[in-house]
Each structure stands twice: as structure tokens, then as C-alpha cells.
Amino acid sequence: MEKVNFGVTKRGEEASLYVLENKNNTTIKVTDYGATLVSLLFADKAGVQKDLVLGYDNVTGYEEHTSYFGAIIGRNGNRIKDSRFTINGKEYRIDENENHNNLHSGKNGFNTVIWEVREHTDNSITFYHYSSETEQKFPGNMEITVTYTIADDNTLHIVYNGKADADTIMNCTNHSYFNLNGHESGSIEGQVLQIFADAYTPVVDSSAIPTGEIASVEGTPMDFRTEKQIGQDIRADFEQLHFTGGYDHNYVLGRPGEKKIMANAYCRESGIALEAETDCCGVQFYAGNFIGEQTGKGGAAYHDRSAFCLESQFYPNAVNEPDFPSPVVKAGHTYHTETSYRFYLR
């Protein structure tokens, strides 16, 4: 494993970048700032290594932008309506950072802190963070580890383990933005996607808060059960797509704790394919609708829909929806979840 300087945060903390690779020279680069996946290098059908995730050249880029490129999100991924919830009869109010709602745990989310490196090998690294109950105003003090491993079959494994001293929300995800033709290559609308879900959670309006309904994808542009180009239906005259400017919805995968393939993706130009597996109950498919005009790694021009996200997680606002699987973990109980992304040529 190689360790290099990644800049200095606004708080004066030194950030580092860690370079890990497997026997095939498939390489990941992760920084301790936000336990963030900065790069994922994999060879295309011509044997040329492509960087398949969006990111920045140093820690300053991550501090100055709000797209959450590659970051670990926690304690709670996605949205909590009105930035409030109740556990054991007590109401908790957390930071508002998207209209009146809480998105990705607010201004002090896990994506904004320097994580401690606990252990590492040539192809694996474990980050640790102690989250006090004052950090994000969630109940309890929480300890969390995240382990990245790039296996010899070119699978990126992400494993989370957490424990707290009070009943609290634990719902982490990785917010990588994938472009299977390379991070600098432009739109992903022509890339092919398949999501193994019969249902999704519709949203009430542009706030992207679920209605509480579990709706069938049958007969709608939301149906990805058979692979299709991401852009095929993205401009369809369908209210849910109007609300969120394209795809930004949670798909219903099954029971928490059960491993399942959640999605496949493929790029004809590069020949690179992706198989994504998780034990989470939901996956947020985001088509990068609001990336905006940004300058990324190496001066690359990023814009809307230049990457897509597959964020494994509990459903949005699950803590406030009694019919959704609950993201609340009891005090002293272990939170454990695993998600993997396997890259191959097709």
C-alpha cells in the first residue's frame, strides 16, 4: 500500500490518500477524509486502464463541493423528513440542510471528518470513526469501521460495522458516482442498467421524500428489470421523473441482511461491466441529474448525468415510516452490512 499527501483541510488537518491494488493491477485510491473512494482503475477491452469514479485531485475539492463523490455517508444515508424523528418516545431534531429536510446526516456527516486508519494490507484498508452524540445530534455515541478491499476477482468490497451506547439510526452507504467509460468521458445515458427490483418508493414532490407507498415498476419508466439504456426513458412524461429531474429513487430489494444482486451495468464503448451485490433492503439509483458544471480529477469536465450512483441503504425517511424496514439499531447491538461492486469485461 502506498500513502501520499492529499492536502490540508480548512480545519488544518492533514489528509492522506491510500493506493491499493490487486494482482491484476486493478487499483483503488481512498482518502481518510470522509473515508472516500477517490479513484477506481480498471482495464477496458483495449487493455487501457480507466478511472471509473468521479472525484477530485485533493481534499480541497471535496470540501468545496456538495455532490458527495465517493464518500461514506452516515449515520444516515438519504433523507429524513423535516429533520426530525422519534425513538423510544423521544423526538430528536437534527440539522436541516436540504429545504427543511436532513440529507446524508447534515453538515457534520461522516463525509466531512478525517477517519483513523486501523489496519491495512496491499489490497485492503479499514477506517475507524468515533461519532459522539453531539456530532450530528443523533442519540448515543457510535463507533464505526468501514473496510475497503479490492479482491483479486476485481470486486470492490465495502464492509461496515458499528455499535452505539443508545438506540440510534445506523444507515450508512457509499456515494460513488460510476461512469463505466471513464470519469472524464461525458454522459452515462447510453450505458445499460438492470435493477433487480419489482417495486420502488414513490416520492411526494421535488423534496424526494417517499409517500410511504411501495409501488410496482410494471408499465412505468421506473422499470429496469430488463436491462436498458439509462437515458431511454429518463425524459418520459412521468410525474416521478419530473419531481426529481430524472432518476433519483429508492428501489425495493428485499429483506435487510439477505445478500442479493441489486444491479448490473454495462458500457459498450469500453466493454466494462459492473455487478453490484448487497445485503441492504434498498438501493437509491441516482442518474447524476444535478452534478452541475464541475472540474474533477485531472481537469476533467463533469456535468449533469456524467455518472450514476447505486447507493445501498434503508429506504429514505425509513425512521418515520412504520411500514418500512427500520434503520434503528439497539444499544450494544452490532450493525453490520456489506456491499460489493464487481468489474469485468463483457
Contact status, residue 80 vs residue 86, Cβ threshold 8 Å:
no
pLDDT at residue 112, rounded to an integer: 98
Q: What is the pLDDT of residues 223-259, one digit of tens each?
A: 999 999 999 999 999 999 999 999 999 999 999 999 9
Question: Among the options 135, 275, 311, 321, which is catalytic?
Answer: 311
Q: Decide if pLDDT at 72 tops 90.
A: yes
Helix (H) or strand (E) holding 240: helix 239-244
What span, in angstroms and rounded, lies between the C-alpha atoms of 93 and 336? 25
Cell of 168: 440510534
Question: Among the options 104, 129, 135, 175, which is catalytic?
Answer: 175
For 204-300, list the strands marked E by DSSP.
215-216, 228-229, 248-252, 260-266, 272-278, 282-286, 294-295
7-14 own/partner pairs: CB under 8 Å, 24+ apart: 7/58, 7/59, 7/60, 8/59, 9/33, 9/59, 9/63, 9/114, 10/63, 13/114
Q: Residue 66 — pLDDT band, cuts 50, 70, 90?
A: confident
14 flagged as catalytic? no
Question: For residue 318, which of 290, 282, 267 has the smallest C-alpha distance?
Answer: 282
Domains and CATH numbers, the chain: 2-345 (2.70.98.10)
104 flagged as catalytic? no
Q: What is the pLDDT of residues 162-209, one digit of tens each?
A: 999 999 999 999 999 999 999 999 999 999 999 999 999 999 999 999
Return all residues near 137 (Cβ < 8 A) that are at least 6 apart.
92, 93, 94, 95
Q: What is the pLDDT of residues 144-162, one digit of tens each?
A: 999 999 999 999 999 999 9
Cell of 11: 480545519
pTM confidence score: 0.98
